[in-house]
Amino acid sequence: MSRYNLTLLTDLYELTMMQGYYENNTNETVVFDVFYRNNPSGGAYAIAAGLDQIIDYIKNLRFEAEDIEYLRSTGIFQESFLAYLADFSFSGDIYAIPEGTVVFPKEPLLKVIAPIMEAQLVETAILNIINHQSLIATKASRVVYAAGGGVMEFGLRRAQGPDAGTYGARAAVIAGCVGTSNVLAGKLFNIPIKGTHAHSWIMSFKTELEAFRNYARLYPDNCLLLVDTYDTLKSGVPHAIQVFTEMKEAGLPKPSVYGIRLDSGDLAYLSKKARKMLDAAGFTDAVISASSDLDEYLIESLRSQGAQITSWGVGTNLITSKDCPAFGGVYKLAAVQGPDGKFIPKIKVSENIEKVTDPGNKTIFRIYDKETGKIRGDLIALADETYDSQQSLIIFDPIATWKRTYLEGGSYTIRELLVPIFMGGQCVYTSPCVMDIQTYCQKELNTLWDESRRLANPQTVYVDLSRPLWELKNQLLDNIHNFKDKK
């Protein structure tokens, strides 16, 4: 896809630090982890998304002449460093969890192993992309869960700019939306586009009936009529029934999709009344779709009230993740390569125990119950650890260490979540198409126990540290405290 160059989509401090490393002649290889600390919207999980755009960004990293010229104009950068930038390309390794995967707090969703100057430059854009798309995918999965399917993404006009509407639509479809109103997203990502018509269509004709007839004549095979412009039950629904009857009497083939859209009023009441009217007229398979400031909670409430809605157009609340509009992904230094090629683990301490980072070059193992296929827990481990699911395994909570889970050999399966994306600067991964990611994501969501998917008070999924990682972390913390005590 053609796109303006995103190389300068970075915080200024990445560039000033890069220049610092350049001037100091220090460019050791380091490991940075992307992870987040809290699930959005009070849920028990998130959906990883955005990797394909990160790949695109890394592949196209290149300072154009006009970028160099701009940087020169700021007066902050030396010519020698600008010459370095003019030749810059990414030479490192990137590992990531594939898009559509269910993920949990503290797990490295993406890992950069690269000379520090390169690793630093890419921080901001990687976070921007992963934070946005994972946020919207997670929100969309909640809305789709509440609706039981049939959710259309309709939020472009309220999204935070063109990209938010377009990549947001992509993320929404990954997480299970059946389509989007955004035509550009449809073109760029080959995802289904959906829509009906607006109130202005009705208002531009002399009568509602004339507007409906015209729409039905033009779109006889996909005919959803918006019924709330004047009076839903007294005017909209009767006129829609009249038009469906006329189509039938004219001997037209049965439409693939036909029915009504409610966009205001008491959706529970109106949908039940409309259902009865449609059924009484013989249109038992007419769809009732609704749109009107919907979110997962309102949809859950409407369904529990017996609303007769099977198709949901969700806009603002989904495309902005309104109740939680930011995904708190961070990018933290985990290790620095020593002269002998070995990684020296690094830890960032904090007064807040939750903010102490996990040191070292790591990976993630996911453990499934063999019988049900559901997730038993995740194990953040050092990258060189291996596990054999025929062996018994005890995993334990990294803080409340007496909380243990015993996994009998043969009763579980295990898989590593991080896969290589770039090796030595070369992309070694091909993203699946969005609809294949959607299928994969559906399978991923099915690996969650129902108790972890529900909207209210979902059950936390265990994310433990492997014994070697836990020991390393404690040893580093001990060293820091001993050092402080000695001072």
DSSP-derived letter for residue 61 is: -
**Nearest distance from residue 338's CB to its own copies, in Å?**
13
**Nearest distance from residue 402's CB to its own copies, in Å?**
30
Measured from the CB atom, the residue of 30 and 48 that comes closer to its own copies is 30
**Nearest distance from residue 379's CB to its own copies, in Å?**
26
Give the largest Cα separation in the chain, rounded. 92
Q: Which amino acid is at 475?
A: Q
Chain centre distance of CA 358: 23
Q: Are 361 and 334 contacting, i.e. CB atoms less than 8 angstroms apart?
A: yes
Q: Are 278 and 237 contacting, i.e. CB atoms less than 8 angstroms apart?
A: yes
> Residue 336 has which token pair?
């620095």
Measured from the CB atom, the residue of 352 and 386 that comes closer to its own copies is 352
Measured from the CB atom, the residue of 219 and 449 that comes closer to its own copies is 219
**Nearest distance from residue 324's CB to its own copies, in Å?**
9
> Residue 196 has which token pair?
């009906």
Strand duo 375-382 + 330-337: pairing: unpaired
**Nearest distance from residue 304's CB to its own copies, in Å?**
24
**Nearest distance from residue 260's CB to its own copies, in Å?**
15
Instruction: Classify 131 as helix, strand or coil.
Output: helix
CA pair distance 196, 436, nearest whole angstrom:
26
**Nearest distance from residue 82's CB to its own copies, in Å?**
13
Measured from the CB atom, the residue of 168 and 259 that comes closer to its own copies is 168
Measured from the CB atom, the residue of 15 and 175 that comes closer to its own copies is 15
CA pair distance 122, 125, nearest whole angstrom:
6
CA pair distance 463, 381, nearest whole angstrom:
11
CA pair distance 413, 379, nearest whole angstrom:
13
CB neighbour list of residue 168: distance below 8 Å, 6 or more residues apart: 132, 133, 136, 153, 155, 159, 319
**Helix 123-147 vs helix 296-304: crossing angle, to nearest 10:** 10
Residue 136: name the closest of 100, 189, 112, 188 by CA.
Answer: 100
Measured from the CB atom, the residue of 336 and 477 that comes closer to its own copies is 336
**Nearest distance from residue 358's CB to its own copies, in Å?**
14
Measured from the CB atom, the residue of 199 and 467 that comes closer to its own copies is 199
**Nearest distance from residue 109's CB to its own copies, in Å?**
14
Measured from the CB atom, the residue of 181 and 447 that comes closer to its own copies is 181
Measured from the CB atom, the residue of 284 and 352 that comes closer to its own copies is 352
DSSP-derived letter for residue 383 is: T
